[in-house]
């Protein structure tokens, strides 16, 4: 799964997302672009709706 953070996501929000990904047993792979941060992790069935409800700063 690829998570694309909002353009104005704070470092605190980015840290929260990476910590959550790690807490459910995945290793996030970060890619920092000029305007946005992207994260890649293998999704083993975590519904996207749960991710959006749980994590702030994700781009809709």
For the full predicted model, state whether its pTM sits above 0.75: no
**Could you write out the DSSP letters of every residue in 1-60?**
-EEEB-TT--HHHHHHHHHHHHHTT---EEEE-SS-EEEE---SS--HHHHHHH-TTB--
Other CB atoms within a 10 A radius of the CB of residue 2 amount to: 10
Q: Do residues 28 and 58 make contact, with C-beta atoms less than 8 angstroms apart?
A: no
C-alpha 21/C-alpha 37 separation (Å) is 15
Q: Which tens digits make up the pLDDT trace of 22-45?
A: 887 888 888 888 877 777 776 556
């Amino acid at each position: 799964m690829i998570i694309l953070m909002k353009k104005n996501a704070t470092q605190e929000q980015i840290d929260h997302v990476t910590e959550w990904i790690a807490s459910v047993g995945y290793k996030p792979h970060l890619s920092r672009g000029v305007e946005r941060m992207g994260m890649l992790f293998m999704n083993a069935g975590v519904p996207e709706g749960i991710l959006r409800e749980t994590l702030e700063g994700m781009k809709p």
